[in-house]
Amino acid sequence: MLAFLLTLGALLGVVIALAYAERKVAAFMQDRMGPTEAGPQGSLQAVADVLKLLQKEDIVPAAADKGLFKLAPILIFAAVFAGFAVIPFTPDLVPAGIGIGVFYLLAIISLDVVGLLMAGWGSNNKYAMLGAMRSVAQIVSYEIPAGLAILSVVMVCQSLDFQEISYQQGALMNQFPGLEYEMNWLFGIEALGINTTTIGGITTWNIFRAPILLVAFIIYFIASLAESNRAPFDIPEAESELVAGFHVEYSGFRFAVLFLAEYSMMVLVCLVAVVLFLGSWNTPLPNIGPVALAYWTSGTPGEISSILWGIFWLLSKTFILLFLQLQLRWTYPRLRVDQLMHLCWKVLTPVALAVVLIAGIWRLLMI
């Protein structure tokens, strides 16, 4: 229960900070000031918005299916929040360290689709229903290239455990017997006599261990934008067409829960990208001769230094990806639905299939 409350509190803090950052990034890109009044540099504006939402009247439309309408926000947030259970934050801190964490994550966040459809149908509103149908079509479609990109990582790492995949991408991989040899052949430089397990840092990240995974990372990141309903893939919430999409009838606390779920999904997909492709909680700094930067900036497993360094590196990489998501929202225009589906089925999916094939061949040839 304590772990649940701590994770929920930390997530709420990150979402509030992210909402403030999005306003400031948007203001900077549009040559505006952004929030300035509530707190220093408007830093308390997001907190004020949360308090305002909590005080608003909770309205349930008279013609709505009240059961579905009330349950949908809970299901959507629960599906997203449950995904954080298998994310390793440090070498010693994993909420639920299960051996099939990747499979569990893909399964649990798919429940988000059911919640979105419930919200649209239960609202008994044509705009909400259209937004929900768009969301379902978009998310189900983009789950395919995203899943294939994740599959390529699983094939290379030979594991469904997020923590084991994390250990494989750093100098602490000696915690798992046999991984030192796998790093050598995956990097393809065993013949040179270079032991990358002692170098650590960025040289051990998956996108460098198997270069084809860099393509997989790009595919996953694009698909994750669609999974999160983020621009330029935000047609389910197109204000000029659907007023507000599937949540048009929601207000007060229920709207706040949907808002929290959307931003939580952004954080989750970025965390997954960092764990699978960008070294997870491992330091990006390599050991250079006698200067053991990788060890100095990783700490000793089991000690408080390891926890602090792990959280610092994991969140730093995650915030970089989140900042990139914010920039993309205010850079590219919204895609039409035909463009969105063309990108998924005729571009990303074929390329993702090729990446899986190459990842399999890479694994076979390097054994």
Provide the pLDDT for residue 286: 87
Provide the pLDDT for residue 234: 85
3-state SS class at 220? helix
Provide the pLDDT for residue 363: 87
Identify the band that residue 195 occupies on the pLDDT scale cut at 50, 70 and 90: low
Provide the pLDDT for residue 179: 44
Helix, strand, coil percent content, the chain, rounded in steps of 5: 70, 0, 25
pTM of the model: 0.91
Domain that holds residue 93: 62-366
Quick check: is 1 in a domain?
A: no
Checking if the pLDDT of 116 tops 60, the result is yes
Quick check: is 35 in a domain?
A: no
First to last CA, the chain: 44
Identify the band that residue 181 occupies on the pLDDT scale cut at 50, 70 and 90: very low
In tens, the pLDDT along 255-264 reads: 999 989 999 9
Quick check: is 276 in a domain?
A: yes
The pair of structure tokens assigned to 156 is 């290379």
Q: What is the mean pLDDT of residues 274-287?
A: 92
The pair of structure tokens assigned to 304 is 């408080």
In tens, the pLDDT along 7-47 reads: 888 888 899 899 899 999 889 888 898 898 888 888 898 88
Provide the pLDDT for residue 174: 47
The pair of structure tokens assigned to 144 is 């395919």
Quick check: is 301 in a domain?
A: yes
Listed in sequence order, the residues at least 6 apart from 202 whose beta carbon sits closer than 8 Å to its beta carbon are 208, 279, 284, 285, 286
Cite the DSSP H helix spans in 83-178: 101-109, 111-122, 126-157, 162-167
Quick check: is 57 in a domain?
A: no
3-state SS class at 99? coil
Tally the C-alpha atoms within 13 A of residue 52's C-alpha that lie toward its C-beta: 7
Q: Which of 188-202, 261-275, 284-298 has the lowest mean pLDDT?
A: 188-202
Provide the pLDDT for residue 188: 44
* Total number of domains constituting the chain: 1
CA distances from 89 to 166, 260, 284 (A): 10, 21, 16
Identify the band that residue 193 occupies on the pLDDT scale cut at 50, 70 and 90: very low
Q: What is the mean pLDDT of residues 153-163?
A: 93
Q: What is the mean pLDDT of residues 343-352?
A: 96
Provide the pLDDT for residue 207: 92
Provide the pLDDT for residue 7: 82
Q: What are phi and psi of 106, to 5 degrees?
A: -60, -35
> Percentage of residues in the chain with pLDDT exceeding 70?
91
Provide the pLDDT for residue 244: 77
Identify the band that residue 1 occupies on the pLDDT scale cut at 50, 70 and 90: low
Identify the band that residue 330 occupies on the pLDDT scale cut at 50, 70 and 90: confident
Quick check: is 212 in a domain?
A: yes
Provide the pLDDT for residue 142: 95
Identify the band that residue 190 occupies on the pLDDT scale cut at 50, 70 and 90: very low
Provide the pLDDT for residue 367: 58
Identify the band that residue 365 occupies on the pLDDT scale cut at 50, 70 and 90: confident
Spatial separation of the C-alpha atoms in residues 101 and 83, rounded to whole Å: 9
In tens, the pLDDT along 58-105 reads: 889 988 999 999 999 999 999 999 999 999 998 888 888 788 999 999
Q: Which of 12-21, 81-90, 137-146, 165-174 has the lowest mean pLDDT?
A: 165-174
Mean pLDDT of the chain: 86
Q: What is the largest CA-CA distance in the chain?
A: 73
- Which of 288 and 140 is assigned the larger pLDDT? 140
Spatial separation of the C-alpha atoms in residues 183 and 178, rounded to whole Å: 9
Listed in sequence order, the residues at least 6 apart from 177 whose beta carbon sits closer than 8 Å to its beta carbon are none
Spatial separation of the C-alpha atoms in residues 88 and 355, rounded to whole Å: 26
CA distances from 312 to 17, 166, 202, 263, 323 (A): 16, 15, 16, 20, 16
Quick check: is 353 in a domain?
A: yes
84 close to 101: Cβ distance less than 8 angstroms: no
Quick check: is 244 in a domain?
A: yes
